[in-house]
């Protein structure tokens, strides 16, 4: 997202998909050290406007909303576009699903961690797949 050409290609793909009624899920994976002072809303705004499912961590949620606290941040983002669901990823502490007026805490399963590489990416893929399969939250 920090490369202008690459970011514009992503924006175009999202615009194209959104115009055809696709649901967009988005894990912002914000790395402030790579943004080099760029305005966060210029970098992520066009995606948030079309995003249906947002999969941030708590700090990312607050940064994107420009607010402090989970609930105020969620309220601010729900007002700003197509957003239907926010799933806060909390690592070993599980996840929190937020919809307008709904908050569901989801604990993790106890497992022996061998290597956490790709765990967030797997969650980012699995959660929308469950939605598409009409599975209950």
More confident residue, 75 or 41: 75
Q: Is the pLDDT of residue 2 over 70?
A: no
More confident residue, 99 or 37: 99
| CA dihedral (66, 24, 21, 133) positive or negative | negative
Burial annotation 48-74 (CB, 10 A radius, 16+ → b, else e) = bbbbbbbbbbeebbbbbbebeebeebb
Confidence class of residue 45 from pLDDT cuts 50, 70 and 90?
A: confident
pLDDT digits (tens, 9 = 90+) for 57-98: 999 999 999 899 999 999 999 987 789 999 999 988 899 999
| Run of H or E including 62 | helix 58-65
Q: Residue ranges per domain, the chain?
A: 4-132
Residue 76: CA count within 13 A, CB half-sphere: 13
Grouping H, G, I as helix, E, B as strand and the rest as coil, residue 100 is coil
Bridge partners for 86 per DSSP:
54, 98
CATH no., domain 4-132 = 3.40.1190.20
Q: Is-contact 96 103, C-beta < 8 A?
A: yes
Confidence class of residue 4 from pLDDT cuts 50, 70 and 90?
A: confident
Give the residue among 13, 21, 129 at the shortest CA–CA distance from 1.
Answer: 13
């Amino acid at each position: 997202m920090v490369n202008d050409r690459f970011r514009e290609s992503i924006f175009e793909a999202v615009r194209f998909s959104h115009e055809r009624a696709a649901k967009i899920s988005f894990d912002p994976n914000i790395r402030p050290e790579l943004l080099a002072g760029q305005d966060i809303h210029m970098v992520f705004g066009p995606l948030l406007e079309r995003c249906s499912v947002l999969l941030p961590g708590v700090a990312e949620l607050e940064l994107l909303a420009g607010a402090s606290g989970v609930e105020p941040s969620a309220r601010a983002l729900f007002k700003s576009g197509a957003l239907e669901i926010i799933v806060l990823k909390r690592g070993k502490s599980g996840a929190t699903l937020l919809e307008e007026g709904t908050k569901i805490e989801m604990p993790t399963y106890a497992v022996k961690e061998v290597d956490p590489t790709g765990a967030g990416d797997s969650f980012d893929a699995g959660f929308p797949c469950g939605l598409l399969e009409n599975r209950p939250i």
